[in-house]
Amino acid sequence: MLMSSKPMFDLAYDGGFGIGAFNVNNMEITQGIIEACAAEKSPCILQISKGARSYANMRFLRKIIEACVEEYPEVPICIHLDHGDTVDLVQQCIDDGFTSVMIDGSHHEYEENVALSKAATDLAHANGVVVEAELGMLGGIEEDVVGLDAAEYEKNVEQFLTDPEQAKDFAERTGIDSLAVAIGTSHGAFKFTSEAKLAFNRVEEIMKTCPGLPLVMHGSSSVPQEFIDLINKYGGNMPNAKGVPEDQIAMAVRKYGVCKVNIDTDLRLALTAKIREVFATNPAEFDPRKYLAPGREAIVSMVKRKLDMLNSAGKADEVIAKWEADGKTMPAYYNKSACCG
């Protein structure tokens, strides 16, 4: 069932769970994600970045997600723009049937971030779409998102974290529905040079200044060592790749107000590791089905593991009941032919 992220976050904030926001780029990745969510009876957010729109063509991604909605009507699905950088892109995504958008002005000066985020929020809310914005700076690089150098970020992390008082001002002036916060996470596979430690004290302070505001963690892939080892075993070159420990992510969603956790790098690692394994162990193989299928299965297993970590398994029926009890339907502007009605 296609819906906004609002009923998901309403329940997650006080319910001790988080919603996995998984980036989709092609059919196999999307199939793996939705199959895992259906098996675990978990709500999910399928998010599409600017890079994915360019790579796959939004028409194709739209039809793939439409198939997910039709094939698994029992799974609550939110379609989300990841790291939108302009109001024009937000408009395009609204026209394409997205139910949630992110406007990321975190790389701008504060007042410019406020102005951009408010403009995007005003536009989205007028069309019944919820908005996520970002405040603070993350490290690492992923697609068009260029953060700070990992070593520099770790050394000076405190100065880049989201300021609680500024978060309050930002939320009040923009009217956003959720806030992506910088609490020590980082984009990409090479997030840290040593063990990551999330700034939970900062999350607690933000929860006090912004009570009830759903928080979002970007750069939250855990970079499982088994996939790094498999990639390196079969010709890869990824030494010292480190992610966010899963126990810290679990704590963020079970104890604090983190309602959405972005996961992209781990999906890429799982798919790449299995493809490399097939190519190395069976070099004569040329049938894409024979190497993409194992990659897809690895994604299914990976996502199931994440849903358990996020404590969202088994929450699908509760989310749907919340959506229906609130009297929510797809807004009038929504064009069924555009996406996934």
Residue given tokens 């024009």 in the structure block: 88
At residue 326, the pLDDT reads: 85
At residue 195, the pLDDT reads: 67
Of the candidate ranges 2-16, 162-176, 224-238, the one whose mean pLDDT is the lowest: 224-238
**Tokens representing residue 186 in the block:** 């980082």
Averaged confidence pLDDT in the chain? 88
Instruction: Answer whether residue 341 shows pLDDT above 50.
Output: no
At residue 332, the pLDDT reads: 46
At residue 18, the pLDDT reads: 98
Give the bridge partners for 201, in sequence order: none
Q: Is 142 helix (H, G, I), strand (E, B) or coil?
A: strand
Q: For residue 232, is it within any domain?
A: yes
Instruction: Answer whether residue 298 shows pLDDT above 90.
Output: yes
Contact 9, 214 (CB under 8 A): yes
At residue 118, the pLDDT reads: 98
- How far is residue 5's CA from residue 26's CA, in Å, rounded to a whole number? 22
Q: Which of the four pLDDT bands, split at 50, 70 and 90, describes residue 337?
A: very low
Q: Which of the four pLDDT bands, split at 50, 70 and 90, describes residue 238?
A: confident
> 281: closest CA among 271, 272, 289, 291?
291
Instruction: Answer whether residue 193 shows pLDDT above 70.
Output: no
Domain that includes residue 257, residue range? 6-338
Q: Which of the four pLDDT bands, split at 50, 70 and 90, describes residue 339?
A: very low
User: What is the average per-residue pLDDT within 301-308?
Assistant: 96
pTM: 0.90
Q: For residue 264, is it within any domain?
A: yes
Percent pLDDT > 90 in the chain is 74
For 75-121, the pLDDT digits (tens) are: 999 999 999 999 999 999 999 999 999 999 998 999 999 999 999 99
Measured CA to CA in angstroms, residue 185 lies from 116, 140, 212, 217 at distances of: 24, 9, 22, 7
User: What is the average per-residue pLDDT within 274-284?
Assistant: 97
Sign of CA dihedral 118, 120, 124, 130: negative
Q: Which of the four pLDDT bands, split at 50, 70 and 90, describes residue 140?
A: very low
The secondary element (H helix, E strand) that includes residue 101 is strand 100-103
Q: For residue 1, is it within any domain?
A: no
220 vs 20, which has greater pLDDT?
A: 20
Q: How many domains does the chain have?
A: 1
Q: Which of the four pLDDT bands, split at 50, 70 and 90, describes residue 336?
A: very low
DSSP string, 13-35: HHHT--EEEEE--SHHHHHHHHH
Give the bridge partners for 139, in sequence order: 148, 186
> 61: closest CA among 50, 74, 72, 71?
50
**Tokens representing residue 153 in the block:** 């970020």
Q: For residue 93, is it within any domain?
A: yes
Contact 201, 256 (CB under 8 A): no
Return the CATH number at 155. Answer: 3.20.20.70
What pairing do the DSSP bridges indicate for beta strands 145-146 and 141-142?
A: antiparallel
For 109-134, the pLDDT digits (tens) are: 999 999 999 999 999 999 999 999 99
Q: Which of the four pLDDT bands, split at 50, 70 and 90, describes residue 139?
A: low
Active site residues: 82
For 145-191, the pLDDT digits (tens) are: 545 555 554 555 566 789 999 999 999 999 999 999 988 875 554 44
Q: For residue 286, is it within any domain?
A: yes
- How far is residue 287's CA from residue 277's CA, in Å, rounded to a whole number? 14
- How far is residue 9's CA from residue 16's CA, in Å, rounded to a whole number? 11
At residue 194, the pLDDT reads: 60
Q: For residue 66, is it within any domain?
A: yes
For 51-61, the pLDDT digits (tens) are: 999 999 999 99
Instruction: Answer whether residue 201 shows pLDDT above 50.
Output: yes
**Tokens representing residue 203 in the block:** 């999350």
